[in-house]
Homo-oligomer: A and B are copies of this chain.
Amino acid sequence: MKKVPHKLYLTEDQMPKKWYNLRADMKEQPDPMLNPATFKPVKAEELYPVFCKKLAHQEMDSTTRYVDIPEEIQDFYKLYRPSPLIRAYHLEKYLDTPAKIYYKFEGNNTSGSHKLNSAIAQAYYAKEQGLTGLTTETGAGQWGTALAEACSFYNLPLTVYMVKVSYEQKPFRKSVMQTFGADIIPSPSPTTEIGKKILSKDPGTSGSLGCAISEAIEKAVTTEGCRYVLGSVLNQVLLHQSIIGLESKTAMEMLDEYPDIVIGCAGGGSNLGGLIAPFMQDKLLGRKNPRIIAVEPASCPSFTRGRYAYDFCDTGKVTPLAKMYTLGSGFIPSANHAGGLRYHGMSPILSKLYHDGYMEAMAVEQTKVFEAAHLFAKQETILPAPESAHAIKGAIDEALKCRKSGEAKTILFGLTGTGYFDMMAYSSYLEGKMNDIIPNDEELERSFEQLPKIPGIQ
């Protein structure tokens, strides 16, 4: 076996030149998106008012296995990629585990997360189409920051609807986006009809990703030359994020390693879908059989307690219907600090794979997540984002199982980003003021009752 360094960076030559489209290898496809008026499958053209054309086509394309990464995007990737694959030697030692723990660290860029991988792609295609503006939503602010950077690079005006609780908890996150020229609006806001409606019902709401999405879409479709972009959930996003998994797999091959377990945090699925893509391919094709584990917050448990059903992707019910694990589009999660995971639904691709038994899921409480984050920071010196720390918690749990069983399993997890803008949450944890708010069954049942009724389907 080759000597394993602490960190492995691919060379720029080794970086992927194509994204991998997981759908091309799925035996059964995710159910199609439906038009909420006709309940008929949505066609790419119907998406043109909302998405830029190339992205609408990527959204629908379930057959092209490998998609060329345009050279300009490859060039941009080289500003901050490849990202390192890191062996967590110090954590392993501290846990006294025979497990080998690797993590793919996506936080070494100014957006502080993996979100830039899709942001630059979406900004590129928007520029190519000659659009004059983009809108989006952001939860924790990672996606918004990434897109602000990408739009700044292409001089594209950007309006970001930022979930109100994050807007208030993360004033400096907002400043970073403004530094890159973006216009930031706390959501729900009075700048849209949807926002006004939500505010009139619940003026004190802390907002949610689902609600910010509604506002951003409304703004895009009512503004000339403007389109909407989304940082998670969508098939196109998982396509762009496949670069995480592809790089990870190449790096592990160079080390003669293959993960027994792949672990990612799960909000809308962007990082998880990207990280697991090539390993899931091996599983789908029967070449390997790694365990694949999604870790989600107990406060917003779409996989573990949601319904697999058609639902709106947003709170305002303006999007097409997607078949996914959902807590109901009206579900507003408690003000959990992992803002990036506060989404009611889940990527349709991942939902289908989970439903078909190709992956597992676990829900964890945020105090346990911060405990894992704190331990990780002390041992590995990287201060993780609370979102990423969900995966850390999952990895530590599996490593501790190995200590009990004596098995030297190889664990790979995705460290999606850094926690520099989450210090209020860290302080609250350190001061013992953090608590875990978990939805009760009645609350979820009420939310499920609002799922759309579709004749002959659900």
Contact = CB atoms under 8 A, between A and B. Distances in A.
Contact of A418 (B5, B110, B178): B110
Question: How many copies of this chain are found per oligomer?
Answer: 2
A5 B377 CA distance: 31
A248 to B, nearest CB: 17
A161 interface: no
Contact of A380 (B79, B176, B178): B79
Contacts of A112: 420
Interface in A145-177: 149, 152-153, 171-172, 175-176
Interface string A9-42: 1011000000000000000000000000000000
Nearest to A105: B108
A152 B5 CA distance: 23
B5 A11 contact: yes
Given A5-B78, A112-B420, 19 more contacts: A6-B78, A7-B12, A9-B9, A79-B90, A79-B381, A80-B381, A108-B108, A109-B382, A110-B381, A110-B382, A110-B383, A153-B379, A172-B421, A175-B424, A179-B374, A179-B377, A179-B426, A179-B427, A181-B378
25 contacts: A5-B11, A5-B78, A79-B381, A80-B381, A109-B381, A109-B382, A110-B377, A110-B383, A110-B418, A112-B420, A116-B381, A152-B377, A172-B420, A172-B424, A175-B423, A175-B424, A176-B420, A176-B423, A178-B427, A178-B430, A179-B383, A179-B426, A179-B427, A180-B377, A181-B378
